Amino acid sequence: MCVTVLALLASAVSMATGGRHCDPAGGCAQNDSNTHHATKQTNDTCAVWETPHTTHLENLQISSRHFIDAFPLDAAGTSVRTVTNGVFSLSAPTPLRGPLTLVAVSKEVLEDILDLDLSVLQSEDFVHYFSGGKPFPGSVPLAHRYGGHQFGYWAGQLGDGRAHLLGEYTNKDGERWELQLKGSGKTPYSRSGDGRAVLRSSVREFLCSEAMHYLGVPTSRAASLIVSDEPVWRDQFYDGNVTKERGAVVLRLAKSWFRIGSLEILTRSGEVDLLRKLLDFILEKYFPTIQSNDPDKFLVFYSKVVNETAQLVARWMSVGFAHGVCNTDNFSLLSVTIDYGPFGFMESFDPSFVPNWSDDEGRYSMGQQANGGRFLEFFKAKLGLLGHDEKDEDLIAFLLKLMEDTHADFTMTFRQLSELSDHQSFLGVHPQVHLLQRILRWPFQEQAAAEAVGYAAQPPAWARELKVSCSS
């Protein structure tokens, strides 16, 4: 597992507790899918619908009040700068220029999370609301300040350089979701960037976040992908070859966008009072099972994040996923997968698999993500090994070594062991993206449409030369 990430979290929590330390293996509650679900609200500015779905986008009430009331707010404008004494900066999205095209939507996110009827897709305002061109009622867009260690080195202030937190929505089931635009323009944290995202990386984020959800891996979700004709210039492989690409915006959702780097930046800058305030806010809002009067509440929180992050990385490995940039600015405090940059899924089983072309030292290779106990737990489940047998570990190790030696396809090996079959049909907003989206919803079942286009076949020879970098 990315041990460095968790060691740096310990440093931040230690400062907040006045220098006390804790054992990451102790004092941790059992993993519970409801742990991070805040209790249902009775007095809140967020709306809870009386009817199943709304057909009017202006009824989607978003609230930024929790964040604005809780912390000092940086309101010095959108110029790039070093921010102090703040967790958020006021920052409005910059609308995409040119005609906008809806590439894809997640029906489940719109209906089940945002309580929207699919008829809203017919509204001319949809692409404007969901790309940042038109504000949702109640939304006060914010950019989050955080830092991070990148490839082992402190990178200083990072923050939401091309993302805007629109606010929080409480749906009819009482679930709280934070809505964020990615690729929506410059903020105080953009550094030398243009605040935009390109279509190729946006398609990858949209599809993979939804695929991970259906694979059973905790993840952010993607509601929509909108593309424009606005030119965005990128040096994809940092070789001086700058090319023109199309700008795109993804509306994504998570229970929280706070990450380890949210604490690190305050630790590094010595803002201890604000660090404690942020930790108290996070515990009250996202970890209600941790008692506010517990003198060891920060240590309990630390142990919980350590254990659940280890669980998350083990889940990644069980489906052949490598994140590519296991930096502290990319690790959620709620232990969900966020920030899909240069990720990858293994084809042939290879512990040295590196999905990030920029990671020439292999720091974040598949094998470097490993965490023994939890890794074995998930592989036992994949193989249907019930109970406890001392020989299970040897069996799994033997299988993986055999797969490595024979260059066996990771996904197809387990598929052929299970031989499930169920045929699905497909309809799409955008044929290619939506076809993939529908296929990824049923990752463990055989699908006629996927078979027909050869998605289950061995990757073609030219695919071995594909490269993905941090450029997006």
* Residues with catalytic function: 329
| Phi-psi label, residue 407: left if phi above 0, alpha if psi -120 to 50, beta otherwise | left
Name the token pair of 166: 């629109």
Cβ atoms of 306 and 317 closer than 8 Å: no
Name the token pair of 195: 């605040």
Give the length of the chain. Answer: 472
Angle 392-406/372-383 helices, nearest 10 degrees? 80
128 φ, ψ (degrees, to nearest 5): -80, -45
Return the closest-CA partner of residue 329 out of 148, 151, 180: 148
Cβ atoms of 230 and 217 closer than 8 Å: no
From CA 157, how far away is CA 137, in angstroms rounded? 31
3-state secondary structure of 331: strand
Angle 431-440/199-214 helices, nearest 10 degrees? 20
Return the closest-CA partner of residue 252 out of 323, 315, 160, 326: 160
3-state secondary structure of 359: coil
78 φ, ψ (degrees, to nearest 5): -95, 0
